[in-house]
Structures are given as C-alpha cells and as structure tokens.
C-alpha cells in the first residue's frame, strides 16, 4: 500500500545524505497524503545505508502505525502537528545540518542579507522562542511542532518554508518531500553565507525593494523566473 509514497520518502531521506545534510541517523523526511490522512516516515534510529523502502512506516494523523514492522521516527508527533497546522504542505524535513543548526542554537533568525536568501524566503528565517519546562516534560515532540507553527504566526507556510527551533535544529517543508529537501539544502547554504557575511562585516539586511524583486519574480502570480511550463 502507498508504494509510491514510501518510494518518495525513501528517496528523499537518501537525498539528505547525498547533500551532506545529515550524519549517522540524524534527521528524517516524511510525507503526508491529505486524501488518505496517512503519513509515511522513516523508522527511528535506522541508519541510512541499511534502510530499505519497505522499512518506511505508515501512520495515521494520531500517530498510530497503520503499516510497517519498525517503530516510526521519534519526531513523528512533531510532523503530525505541522501537517495539522499547515494545510498546504505535503512534505517535511528535519536535519541537524551544521550552519542552520548553529543559528538555531544561537536562537537567532537568519537575516535576509542577499538575493540567494530572497529567492527562497520572503524575509528573515525565524527562530522559535525556547520551550518551557512544562512543554518539554509533557508532549515534547508535539509541542515542538506547535512552537514552529506559533513563530510562523499568520505567514503562509509556503512563503516561509523553514523555521529554526531554538537550541535544537531546522525544519523545512514544501508540497512534496523533494521540495522540502530542496529548501533544506538552500537553507543550509543561506545559513553558511550569513555566517560568513557576519564574519566579514556587521551585515545590513537586504533592501526591501530588492527582497521583493527576487522573491516575487520566483514565487508570485507574476513570476517570470525559469522556463515557461
Ligand atoms: Zn534533533
């Protein structure tokens, strides 16, 4: 059942390794199919090079395993909170990629310092507040998902497809797992560039007119970037 979805999630997880965004068993990718209400996710603690497509786990929106012999990722409830909070998304990625995690550990939003950033994120990539002790000691993973939704506030998730969870790591998303992986790759590069820029000179944010030009030429009804489909 859901062979195509399992294949997508399996491939997307291997892409994290291919792009150097994960080490050991860090990170994972999930996909949510709105029509069936089912989520496919990587199993917990299974190494990427041992993992097979049949190891992918299928759960419903309450997190109950519908199909799969292995335990789903311990981050399952974070994903469920995000799929419930963000109606338009179908894929979520979570990594501990080096530079994006450094900004998460600093609890700092990544400022928009240039057009590379502006091409993907319509403003600074936000960092969450810290979890309260109660949030950590109760439904920690689910509360992490709520924290991500909280910092995004009313912004459309697909215009800001990334959030840094303070003291922890980055989460990215898209309509598909492949899109969420693409954003995770760009986020890591943008975080690295921002770190380098800050080490060269105290950075000034990009001008709004340039931010809008670059973001909207790629992500708006009037977009003209790329080849006509
Ligand atoms: Zn983590």
Q: What is the CATH number of the domain that holds 116?
A: 3.40.225.10
Q: What is the domain count for the chain?
A: 1
What is the CA(75)–ligand 1 centre distance, in A? 8
What is the CA(170)–ligand 1 centre distance, in A? 9
Which of these, 57, 63, 62, lies nearest to 45 by C-alpha position? 57
Residue 227 within any structural domain of the chain: no
What is the CA(95)–ligand 1 centre distance, in A? 7
What pLDDT score does 67 carry? 95
> How confident is the model over 20-49, as a mean pLDDT?
94
pTM attached to this predicted model: 0.91
Residue 25 within any structural domain of the chain: yes
If phi over 0 gives left and psi between -120 and 50 gives alpha, with beta otherwise, what is residue 180? alpha
Helix spans in 51-203 (H): 76-85, 98-106, 115-118, 133-137, 140-152, 177-200
Task: Beginning with the edge strand found earlier in the chain, give each strand of the sheet holding 162-164 in spatial order.
Answer: 65-67, 57-60, 38-41, 28-33, 91-94, 170-174, 162-164
Residue 140 within any structural domain of the chain: yes
What is the CA(96)–ligand 1 centre distance, in A? 6
Which three-class secondary structure state does DSSP give residue 79?
helix
Measured between alpha carbons, how far is 81 from 159 in angstroms, rounded to an integer? Answer: 19
Query: Where does the pLDDT of residue 1 fall: very low under 50, low under 70, confident under 90, or very high at 90 and above?
Result: low
Range of the domain at 107: 3-216
What pLDDT score does 214 carry? 83
What pLDDT score does 146 carry? 97
pLDDT over threshold 90, residue 41: yes
- Which helix (DSSP H) or strand (DSSP E) does residue 58 occupy? strand 57-60
Q: For the segment 118-175, what is each residue's pLDDT rounded down to a tens digit?
A: 999 999 999 999 999 999 999 999 999 999 999 998 788 999 999 999 999 999 999 9
What pLDDT score does 110 carry? 97
What pLDDT score does 217 carry? 82
Query: Where does the pLDDT of residue 25 fall: very low under 50, low under 70, confident under 90, or very high at 90 and above?
Result: confident
Residue 131 within any structural domain of the chain: yes
> How confident is the model over 110-120, as a mean pLDDT?
94
Residue 193 within any structural domain of the chain: yes
Residue 28 within any structural domain of the chain: yes
Residue 51 within any structural domain of the chain: yes
Residues labelled catalytic: 119, 225
Which three-class secondary structure state does DSSP give residue 119?
coil
What is the CA(106)–ligand 1 centre distance, in A? 15
What pLDDT score does 228 carry? 65
Q: For the segment 73-110, what is each residue's pLDDT rounded down to a tens digit?
A: 999 999 999 999 998 999 999 999 999 999 999 999 99
Q: For the segment 163-213, what is each residue's pLDDT rounded down to a tens digit?
A: 999 999 999 999 999 999 999 999 999 999 999 999 988 777 788 888 888
Name the more confident of 215 and 14: 14
> How confident is the model over 109-122, as a mean pLDDT?
94
What is the CA(149)–ligand 1 centre distance, in A? 17
Residue 42 within any structural domain of the chain: yes
What pLDDT score does 89 carry? 96
Comparing 36-40, 68-72, 91-95, 223-227, the range with the smallest average pLDDT is 223-227
What pLDDT score does 108 carry? 97
């Amino acid at each position: 059942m859901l062979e195509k979805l399992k294949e997508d999630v399996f491939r997307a997880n291997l892409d994290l390794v291919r792009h150097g965004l994960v080490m050991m068993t860090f990170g994972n990718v999930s996909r949510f199919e709105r029509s069936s209400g089912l989520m496919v996710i990587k199993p917990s603690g299974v190494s990427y090079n041992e993992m097979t497509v049949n190891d992918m786990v299928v759960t419903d929106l309450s997190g109950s395993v519908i199909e799969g012999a292995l335990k789903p990722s311990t981050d399952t409830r974070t994903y469920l909170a995000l799929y419930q909070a963000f109606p338009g998304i179908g894929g979520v990625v979570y990594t501990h990629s080096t530079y994006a995690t450094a900004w998460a550990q600093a609890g700092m939003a990544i400022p928009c310092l240039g057009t590379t950033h502006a091409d993907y994120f319509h403003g600074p990539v936000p960092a969450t507040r810290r979890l309260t002790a109660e949030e950590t000691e109760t439904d920690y993973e689910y509360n992490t998902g709520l924290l991500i939704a909280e910092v995004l506030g009313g912004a459309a998730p697909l215009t800001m497809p990334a959030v840094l969870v303070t003291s922890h790591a980055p989460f990215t998303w898209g309509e598909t797992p492949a899109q969420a992986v693409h954003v995770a790759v760009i986020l890591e590069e943008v975080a690295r560039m921002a770190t380098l820029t800050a080490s060269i000179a105290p950075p000034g944010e990009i001008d709004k007119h340039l931010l809008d030009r670059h973001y909207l030429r790629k992500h708006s009804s009037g977009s003209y970037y790329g080849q006509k489909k």
